[in-house]
Amino acid sequence: MTRSWSFGQKVGLGFGAVVGLAIVIGALGIYALRTVTASKDQVITTNARDLVEARNLIAAVERKSAAGRGFLLTGDDRFVETMRAARSEIGAAIARLKATVNTDASRRLVEDAERGEAEHQVALDRVVEARKNTPTLESLTRLFDAQVLPKREALDQTLGAFDDREERLMAEATRAASSTASFTIMLMFVIVLAAVVLASAIAVVLTRTVARQIGAAVHHVQSSSTELQTAANQQAAGAKEQATGMNEISTTISELLATSRQIAESAQRVAHIAEDTAGAARAGDQTVQKSQESVGGVKRQVDLIVTHMLDLGRKSQQIGNILEIVNELADQTNILAINASIEAAGANDAGKRFGVVADEIRKLADRVGGSTKEIRTLVDEVRSAVNTTVMATESGMKAADTGIREYADVTLSFRQIADLVATTTEAAREIELSTKQQASAVEQVNVAVAGMARATKETETSSRQTLQTASQLATLSSELTRLIRPNGGA
Amino acid sequence: MGTEELLVIRIAGDPYAVRAREMSGLTPGGRIVPVPGPLPELLGITAIKGGLVPAFSLGALLGYPQARELPSWLLLCGGDQDRVALGVERFDRYTRVPRADISVADDLRDRPHVPELARTEAGICGVIDIRSVLEAITRRIAGAGRQKE
């Protein structure tokens, strides 16, 4: 699993490592300094003190011995007091040495010194008593040499050994402290050198890592700035087209507003016209009702005419029937006359006079036949005229009926027109109201579009600024690339 | 010169005339009962003036094709014993023309029984020789009888 470290984390980690190294170096330095200090303190506080206490002990022994000899020589009691004070110092020194020495050999030497000093004091006390009882110096000298001096030599030897030992211990402790200090200095040098190497390695790794990371980020920034430039260009072009479109929309909305107002005025006029039309429709309805009544009267008159004409037709039919009889009679007369003429022609001269009569009869029959034909023609014309008239009147009746029905339809249509005109009036008013509302809405839309146009212009301006910023960002990324990669290109 | 009385008729739309003196009468065409006979021109028999009279198609006798309709008029020829009815489609008029207006028909030699032409009020028409027609009927009836025997 690869963890992605941020720039700050890496820098922080580097500084943390360096600070850690500094802390380690500081801790080691403190530890070494404390070690050296402890060594020196050991030398100063223990060895030097023990050596000083040993010298003090030797000096106190010397003062006690000098006080003893002084008393032996003078017999003055002040020397006894001095001797006692020196002995107190000796006891105190031995007590301190017992508390401070830390080796068995030194402790045995202190105990030997304490025992030797006690034996010396016992010997010295016997000599002091002797001094009080034996006033001669010679006897005192012998006694002193025999009893005190060996004890003194043994004590001096013990104290000398202790002093030598303490001095040797002090020299050894001093060498050990110097050695510790030298080791500490060497160790600190090595640690500092290692810390410098490690810090340099961390610096190099951190520099390379951060440079690579910053380079990648700068590359991304350059790529992004290029895309941002492209997007800003497109956005600027789009904003420009949008601004043009918004201007066109604004113009169109203005025209729409004018049209809406015209529609509202037209709707108002339509409402007035519809009211006038409703009045005209009501008047037309009344007129149609009157016309319907008039047409009803015409229909009744036409019914009467048809009745009379049908009567005339029937009578013409009767005349035709009678005329058929007359014509038949004339034909028969004609045939009889023709036959009479034939008979007269067959009789030659005998039938000539009969033939003349038959001829006259035939002519009369022809005339009757011609007259009946004319009458038939006239009757036929009359019947045809009657039929035409009847048909025309029937057509007129049908037309009148149709007219009445159409008048009814017209009346209904006028009423429907009146209703529809009322509806139209209402609709025209609603259209007027709606158109006014529409005009108000269009005005609001126009205001909104104007705001959008301003926003579009601002967007265009912002796009240009974005483009400029993207260009500056590209320049900055190039400069940053040059900063982190002086020899490499971006 | 004198005059000639003619009955102007039409056969298949063509105007013809017959002499009144060769006729015995004119009657509208009534009911004609078909009867079997040797002549295809025989239409049948009809009742005229209380007697049965054979009715012939004058057009067929003149060589016209047989008409589908029955004749509207019947021309009566012959005496009481040998009366014959000749059926025609239409009778136009009874007229009288000068004999000078009647001439020999050179143009109608292919049409039998029409030897003359007459100029009438309705125009020129062929004058049918009724006597020739009756003789032809008689000859054919006789020929048919001999042929039958």
Is residue A225 within 8 A of residue A474, CB to CB? The reply is yes
From the CA of B58, how many Å to the nearest CA of chain A? 19
| Total number of residues shown for chain A | 490
Alpha-carbon Rg of chain B, whole angstroms?
A: 15
Q: Which of A338, A343, A348 sits opposite B94 (nearest CB)?
A: A338
What's residue B16's pLDDT?
A: 94
Question: What is the CA angle A161-A167-A173, rounded to 5?
Answer: 135
Distance CA A406, CA A401 (A): 8
H helix or E strand, kind and range, residue B4? strand B3-11
Torsion over CA: A375, A380, A383, A388 (sign):
negative
- Quick one: DSSP state of residue B33? B
* Chain A residues closer than 8 Å to B5 by CB: 341, 345, 355
Among all chains, which residue has been given the structure tokens 């202790």? A162
Rounded to 10 degrees, what is the CA torsion of A239, A241, A245, A247? 70
* Chain B residues closer than 8 Å to A339 by CB: 25-27
Taking only the tens place, the pLDDT of each residue in B25-78 is 999 988 999 998 888 899 999 998 888 999 999 999 999 998 888 899 999 998
Taking alpha carbons only, the member of A321, A423, A314, A328 closest to residue A368 is: A328
For B26, the closest chain A residue by CA position comes to A339
Contact (CB<8Å) B94/A345: no
Whether residue B48 lies within 8 A of chain A, CB to CB, comes out as no
Whether residue A120 lies within 8 A of chain B, CB to CB, comes out as no
What letters, b where the CB count within 10 A reaches 16 and e where it falls short, cover B73-108?
bbbbbbeeeebbbbbbbebbebbebeeeebeebeeb
Q: How many CB pairs under 8 A join A and B?
A: 35
What's residue A302's pLDDT?
A: 79
Neighbour-count burial of B68, counting CB atoms closer than 10 A to its CB (0-12 exposed, 13-18 middle, 19+ buried): exposed
Distance CA A456, CA A244 (A): 9
From the CA of A362, how many Å to the nearest CA of chain B? 9
* Chain B residues closer than 8 Å to A342 by CB: 7, 20-21, 23-26
The pLDDT confidence band at residue B149, using thresholds 50, 70 and 90, is low
Query: How many domains, in total, are found in chain B?
Result: 1
Whether residue B5 lies within 8 A of chain A, CB to CB, comes out as yes
Interface of B with A in 8-37 (CB under 8 A): 19-21, 23-28
* Chain A residues closer than 8 Å to B21 by CB: 342, 345-346, 348
Distance CA A428, CA A272 (A): 9
Q: Classify the complex by whether its ipTM is higher than 0.90, answering yes or no.
A: no
Contact (CB<8Å) B25/A342: yes
Structural domain containing residue B62 = 3-148
The answer to whether domain A8-207 has CATH 3.30.43.10 is no
From the CA of A299, how many Å to the nearest CA of chain B? 50
Does the predicted model carry a pTM greater than 0.95? no
What number of H helices and E strands is found in chain B? 2, 11
For B54, phi then psi, to 5°, come to -70, 140
For B3, the closest chain A residue by CA position comes to A345
Distance CA A269, CA A461 (A): 48
* Chain A residues closer than 8 Å to B19 by CB: 345
Distance CA A451, CA A370 (A): 107
Chain-centroid distance, C-alpha A40:
71
What's residue B56's pLDDT?
A: 94
Q: Which of A335, A346, A359 sits opposite B26 (nearest CB)?
A: A335
Where residue B141 sits, what CATH number does that domain have? 2.40.50.180
What's residue B130's pLDDT?
A: 93
Query: A338, A352, A367: which to substitute to probe chain B, counting the most B Cβ within 10 Å?
Result: A338
From the CA of A365, how many Å to the nearest CA of chain B? 12
From the CA of B2, how many Å to the nearest CA of chain A? 12
Q: Where are the domains of chain A?
A: 8-207, 231-484
Contact (CB<8Å) B28/A335: yes
From the CA of A359, how many Å to the nearest CA of chain B? 9
- Statement: residue B108 has pLDDT above 70: no
Taking alpha carbons only, the member of A380, A360, A383 closest to residue A372 is: A380
Q: What CATH number does the domain located at A231-484 have?
A: 1.10.287
From the CA of B27, how many Å to the nearest CA of chain A? 7
List the pLDDT tens digit at each of the 490 positions of chain A. 446 667 677 778 778 887 887 888 788 778 877 877 877 777 777 778 888 888 888 888 888 888 888 888 888 888 888 888 888 888 888 888 888 888 888 888 888 888 888 888 888 888 888 877 766 777 778 888 888 888 888 888 888 998 898 888 888 888 888 887 888 788 788 888 888 888 888 888 878 877 777 778 788 888 888 888 888 888 878 878 887 888 788 888 888 888 888 888 888 888 888 888 878 878 888 887 888 788 788 778 878 887 888 888 888 888 888 888 888 888 888 888 888 888 888 888 888 888 888 888 888 888 888 888 888 888 888 878 877 887 777 777 777 777 777 777 777 777 777 788 788 788 878 888 888 888 788 888 878 888 887 888 888 888 888 888 888 888 888 888 777 766 654 4
Whether residue B46 lies within 8 A of chain A, CB to CB, comes out as no
Whether residue A322 lies within 8 A of chain B, CB to CB, comes out as no
* Chain B residues closer than 8 Å to A345 by CB: 5, 19-21, 23
Contact (CB<8Å) B20/A362: no
From the CA of B23, how many Å to the nearest CA of chain A? 6
Whether residue A341 lies within 8 A of chain B, CB to CB, comes out as yes
